[in-house]
Amino acid sequence: MVYDKGIPLSVYSTYLRAMLVCLACLLLCSPALSDDLLTVRMKGSAEGVGLSARKAAIENACQLVVEEVLQAMTSISDMALFKSILGQASRYIPQYDLLRSDSFDTTTVVEIDAHLLETPLKRDAAAIMLPRLPRKPTVRLLLAEYIGSEAASGGPTFDIAASALRKTMEEYGFIVKDLLDLLDHYEIDELVAITQGDVPTTAAFARANKEDVIIVGSVTTSHEALRQETNMYRNRARAVLRVISGPDGKIRDTLTAEAAVQSVDPVEGGVQAAQDACGKLVGDSVVAIVLSMLSMEDETRVIVQIERPGSEKLFQEFVDTLNGLDCIRGVEQLFYSDTLARIALEYYGDMAFINDMLSGITLGKYKVEVSRCVRREITLLFR
């Protein structure tokens, strides 16, 4: 914009300020920001009265908002680890609505609706907690890609998205697993259905496997000609990933990203677009994994894995035996095949006790043998 000397400077300045305010409003209402804003109502207080006291009370309310959200994100009540975040709480709250401000003797109390930027807070909290995780997580990637017109009839591939995420996760020391060892126990059509499944389907899959975190999702691509007189295509990809806690099957986060590239070959362009879309989600996937690990340990749940469980009748006899034990409050059948089976026990006692108890069970001519016990996971054999 060029300043017209015929316009009074005061009028021009007012017009410029109005333009800047409109631009700021557009930015705050854009999907990238509005979708990320979490609104939290909170009270704050400060000693004194007047404008300075009200400002201090608002800052106190903002800090309490960040503390509350951090506790929900991380399941950590001691906020000492997050001192650097709490010291700049206002950075995560670009705007707030002042609902009320009251003075009582020498104290000012305010109530605000704070609009908090959740994603930056997640990232900063995860950066602090990543080196403090008690152990490195085991992550299962089950990601289907639908690239090219043949994918609709021929089925998806499972390597492009996983490759885009794997490298960074392994650099952080995560143990990453993909499709291959699942094929020993699942048909490929079952795995495709899981990537497209609803919340109960993916939750059941997560609980049935031993990994700490499961990332399930899909990448779809499309292409269109740029212009009739060229042989170039615009290829678009959309990735949707669900980050699921393995022990309880809860969805911890849903991540989406899109990318577009131009190419002569629509399949090659689709592959590149899929890689780019997944590449945008690497950082947030790591963040979601870290936050999942912080709230994961369940001291009421024991996972029992049976290697080569034999017939389904024998497996069911074992489950019925466990249901009859007083110390076990519940038994959930997670997965069964003739090569592997898993169940979850609701058990509140000592692991040494249940280890000895399982070792004493007989099932007809078979005796239960504990081959391994690590934390709250037990592996059994029927001998």
233: amino acid identity, one letter: Y
pLDDT at 1: 42
pLDDT in tens, 298-346: 567 788 999 999 999 999 999 999 999 988 989 999 899 988 999 989 8
Residue for token pair 């990318």? 259
The region of weakest confidence among 118-122, 215-219, 349-353 is: 349-353
Q: What would the pLDDT profile of 61-114 be if each residue is shown by its tens digit? A: 999 999 999 988 888 877 888 999 999 999 999 999 999 999 988 999 999 999
Cα(301)–Cα(284) distance, integer angstroms? 28
Q: How many Cα atoms occupy the beta-carbon half-sphere of 8 within 13 Å?
A: 3
Averaged confidence pLDDT in the chain: 86
Closest residue by Cα to residue 286 from 209, 215, 210, 237: 215
- Report the chain's terminal Cα–Cα distance, integer Å: 84
| Per-residue pLDDT, 338 | 87
Reported pTM: 0.70
Distance, CA of 163 to CA of 143 (rounded, Å): 10
What is the pLDDT confidence band of residue 262, given thresholds at 50, 70 and 90? very high
